[in-house]
Amino acid sequence: MQSAAFQEHIASYYAASRNASPHYPALAEHIEVETCVIGGGLAGIGTALPLAEAGHSVALIEAARIGYGASGRNGGQVIHGWAADMDKIAAALGIPAAKELWQMSLEALDLVDERVRRFNIDCDWQRGYATVAVRPRHMEALRQWHRDAADTYGYHGYSVWSAAQLQEQLASERYVGALYDEDSGHLHPLNYTLGLAQAAHAAGVAVYEHTPLVSLGHHQGGYLITTPHGQIKARNVVATVNVFLEDLHQPLLQPLAAKILPVGTYIIATEPLGARAESLIRNNMAVCDTRFVLDYYRLSGDQRLLFGGRISYTGRDLTATDIQRSMRREMLRVFPQLSDVAVDFAWGGHVDISMSRAPHFGRLEPNLYFMQGFSGHGVAATGIGGLVTAEAILGDDRRLRLFEQLRHADFPGGRHLRLPSQWAGTLYYRLRDMMP
Ligand SMILES: Cc1cc2nc3c(=O)[nH]c(=O)nc-3n(C[C@H](O)[C@H](O)[C@H](O)COP(=O)(O)OP(=O)(O)OC[C@H]3O[C@@H](n4cnc5c(N)ncnc54)[C@H](O)[C@@H]3O)c2cc1C
């Protein structure tokens, strides 16, 4: 786990290239609002923004800086769909509900596009995304999904690419083909998060940084949120603290902790590659492979290769040197031609994996909302999760109820007991990925 030092953004390429943005004050008084959002990542901001735009009074508290958590450190891949397979969602909810959830995942992409334009957020937003197959059987699964996406979900944004077609765009011989998606894409996640927070602030959200939740309790039919130097009275609370939840020790939120497992994942950024960058990924798409422990990569706005992957269940922080060494090795498996290239940045964070990989959104009490379990698909999905939560707070919970129908099992045991079984599971899938 990240130590909950909760100060500045961690050292990363994103922090080094972030846009100028306001430093929001710490809460130092007692205030009253209709809704208090806890957590200044994309899920929290994605809820606060539409609420404020509807004229609702909202305070958002962030323990560190806006975008300190996963939202400011991720791979920047903006993907539709959910981390769980659609056939599992359809088996759980039926085809009509699954179709509606699929449509919402497309709406999530449109929300990114619309907000980047409307708020003029400088975050290198770019469409184009390929899921690349390492094994022939992975390619067969991509072909099958291409057919199902069209036949069942009416989605026609995919094209199947042969290995040769893929190599016209991607200078790697590692893959047997790809499923290209023209709608998904990538962006600079910290600049996107900071830009959205500025938009939320301009719409009227009272944003507080360096303001950790210390305790959450019932109070006069609503909630009392206590922070180190101030309190907030609110009718509704939205908890979006992601993998930090387990460290909060808040009885009202504790039932959520067993539903997610924090899984470490790591990214390196090379030095700027200049004209060489274009020869690596000619159409500037984002790329992700099909293995269980997958590689995900893309070019940055200043022509670096940002290469992510690996996972860790140990909860220990890896040093930047360890991350750099292991991720560089993985990058050279894909792009051996980069052996002379320096790595300028290495960092990591934790993804909130739910047992089924489906999103876990809903309510613990009628006015106590939460979002978690994005399972590595949160950049786009936080936008729609925030919107449906805001809709529910404003009186229309139809779309939130759809998510609430997804049942979520607990990871058995506490964090420590659940680690060995995850290790065993990962080892099994790693071995499977080695088979043709
Ligand atoms: C390395 C990495 C790569 C990833 N790559 C991708 C990708 O390419 N594409 C994709 O879609 N998803 C990706 N993800 C997942 C994605 O980043 C997340 O799903 C998404 O950012 C979750 O947003 P969030 O707002 O729920 O959580 P966060 O952004 O983690 O926000 C939670 C916030 O709560 C704050 N907080 C914690 N405790 C308190 C407290 N006591 N009081 C107040 N605030 C508190 C934290 O400081 C933090 O800012 C990746 C994640 C990681 C870590």
Q: Is 272 left (phi over 0), alpha (psi -120 to 50) or beta?
A: beta
Q: What letters, b where the CB count within 10 A reaches 16 and e where it falls short, cover 239-262?
A: bbbbbbbbebebebbeebbbbbbb
Assign domain 13-73+191-258+356-412 to a CATH class.
alpha beta
Q: Is 248 near ligand 1, meaning CB less than 6 Å away?
A: yes
Tell me how far the alpha carbon of residue 2 lies from the centroid of ligand 1, in angstroms: 12
pLDDT of 408 strictly over 70: yes
Residue 64 structure tokens: 């560190």
Tell me how far the alpha carbon of residue 242 lies from the centroid of ligand 1, in angstroms: 6
382-393: pLDDT as tens digits: 999 999 999 999
**CA dihedral of 310, 370, 254, 67, whole degrees rounded to 10:** 50
Looking at residues 200-209, what average pLDDT do you find?
Answer: 98
Residue type (1 letter), 117: R
Average pLDDT, the chain: 92
> For a substitution probing ligand 1, which of 7, 12, 66, 74 has the most ligand atoms within 8 Å of its CB?
74
How far is Cα 163 from Cα 325, in angstroms, rounded to an integer?
A: 29
By three-state DSSP, how is residue 63 classified?
Answer: coil
Tell me how far the alpha carbon of residue 435 lies from the centroid of ligand 1, in angstroms: 33
Q: Is 350 near ligand 1, meaning CB less than 6 Å away?
A: yes
> For a substitution probing ligand 1, which of 232, 318, 379, 389 has the most ligand atoms within 8 Å of its CB?
379
Looking at residues 89-117, what average pLDDT do you find?
Answer: 97
Q: Domain residue spans in the chain?
A: 13-73+191-258+356-412
> For a substitution probing ligand 1, which of 186, 351, 369, 375 has the most ligand atoms within 8 Å of its CB?
351
Q: Is 362 near ligand 1, meaning CB less than 6 Å away?
A: no
Q: Is 378 near ligand 1, meaning CB less than 6 Å away?
A: yes
Q: Is 70 near ligand 1, meaning CB less than 6 Å away?
A: yes
Q: Is 267 near ligand 1, meaning CB less than 6 Å away?
A: yes
More confident residue, 430 or 218: 218
Q: Is 2 near ligand 1, meaning CB less than 6 Å away?
A: no
Phi–psi pair at 130, nearest 5 degrees: -120, 130
Tell me how far the alpha carbon of residue 352 lies from the centroid of ligand 1, in angstroms: 8
Residue 188 binned pLDDT confidence (cut-offs 50, 70, 90): very high
Q: What percent of the chain has pLDDT over 90?
A: 86
Tell me how far the alpha carbon of residue 69 lies from the centroid of ligand 1, in angstroms: 4
Strands 158-162 and 177-186, how do they pair? antiparallel
Residue 314 binned pLDDT confidence (cut-offs 50, 70, 90): low
How far is Cα 290 from Cα 285, in angstroms, rounded to an integer?
A: 16
pLDDT at 1: 38
Q: Is 102 near ligand 1, meaning CB less than 6 Å away?
A: no
Residue 428 binned pLDDT confidence (cut-offs 50, 70, 90): very low
Residue matched to tokens 């130097």 = 229
Q: Is 289 near ligand 1, meaning CB less than 6 Å away?
A: no
124-148: pLDDT as tens digits: 999 999 999 999 999 999 999 999 9
259-308: pLDDT as tens digits: 998 989 999 999 999 999 999 999 999 999 998 778 999 999 999 999 99
Residue 425 binned pLDDT confidence (cut-offs 50, 70, 90): low
By three-state DSSP, how is residue 179 classified?
Answer: strand
Looking at residues 15-41, what average pLDDT do you find?
Answer: 98
pLDDT at 61: 98
Tell me how far the alpha carbon of residue 379 lies from the centroid of ligand 1, in angstroms: 9
Tell me how far the alpha carbon of residue 143 lies from the centroid of ligand 1, in angstroms: 32
**CA dihedral of 361, 365, 369, 370, whole degrees rounded to 10:** -50
pLDDT of 175 strictly over 60: yes
